[in-house]
Amino acid sequence: MAKPTKLAPPPEPPKFGETVYVVPTPNEGEIAVRAPIDGARLPDVGRHVAWSEYWARRVNDGDVVLADPPAEEPEAAASEPKSSAGDGGQGS
């Protein structure tokens, strides 16, 4: 008889008040998940929220999932001023 394999313990849930990133799961009814404080619709890319009973229920119901936030684009390249070297393409 084969030995039963031990399952890894489930990860610890976030602590209430801790900031987490949640993303809505795709649903066919297109029912929007809304934040309880401001009533704003949860964007499709997700958002940071304070972990609470509300968000725990949304996760348990399968409306949202905990996720890692998307990597931010490097702002250094976007906010770098254009070089003013030379005469701007005009002949002297």
The model's pLDDT over 9-50, given as tens digits with 9 standing for 90+, comes to: 777 889 999 999 999 998 766 788 999 989 999 999 999 999
Whether the pTM exceeds 0.85: the reply is no
Which range is least confidently modeled, 8-12, 51-55, 56-60? 8-12
CB-facing half-sphere around the CA of 25: CA atoms within 13 A: 11
- The DSSP code sequence of 56-83 is HHHHHHTSEEE-PPPPPPPHHHHHPPPP
CA distance 58 to 75: 33
Residue 84 confidence (pLDDT) above 90: no
In contact, 49 and 35? CB cutoff 8 Å: yes
Tell me what pLDDT residue 42 has.
Answer: 93
Residue 80 pLDDT greater than 90, yes or no? no
